[in-house]
Amino acid sequence: MRTNVAELTRYWMKSGKNGLEPYGKIIVITDGPRTGTCIYKGNAVNFDVSPIEEQDVIDTTGAGDAFVGGFIAGLCIDKSLKDCAQIGCDAAYHIIKQRGCTLPNYDFAIYTS
């Protein structure tokens, strides 16, 4: 089955709260460089991914893990879902600009102020 973010969002929104129960309370759907969606308590929040020039993409290994790490870090400091997604996108953005899954030289403290 091939699907896209819009179809998945419609499915989860239609399934209601009970449809999310087996999977957790927050559903995050990412789609590479395209718009993603967070679903929580029946509300969908779309988020954009920062554009990056194709020649600046070195290695996508770890991009998803970096996104999840940034997203969860945002949750831990009580950021909104949109802000959590932005932190996740920023983390992934910096990861894909270097080879391998290494920590970028980037100060994420800007999100805690």
For the residues 74-81, what does the mean pLDDT come to? 93
CATH for 36: 3.40.1190.20
Residue 9: phi and psi, rounded to 5, are: -60, -45
Number of domains within the chain: 1
Report d(CA 110, CA 92) in Å as an integer. 16
- Tell me what percent of the residues of the chain surpass a pLDDT of 90: 42
- Which of 31, 48, 56, 65 is the catalytic position? 65
Which pTM does this prediction carry?
A: 0.77
* Residue given tokens 């969606």 in the structure block: 37
Q: Does 56 score more than 90 pLDDT?
A: yes
Pick the residue with more confidence: 104 or 93?
93
Mean pLDDT over each residue of the chain, to the nearest integer? 82
Q: Catalytic: 48?
A: no
Residue 14's domain spans which residues? 5-111
Residue 39 pLDDT class (50, 70, 90 cuts):
confident
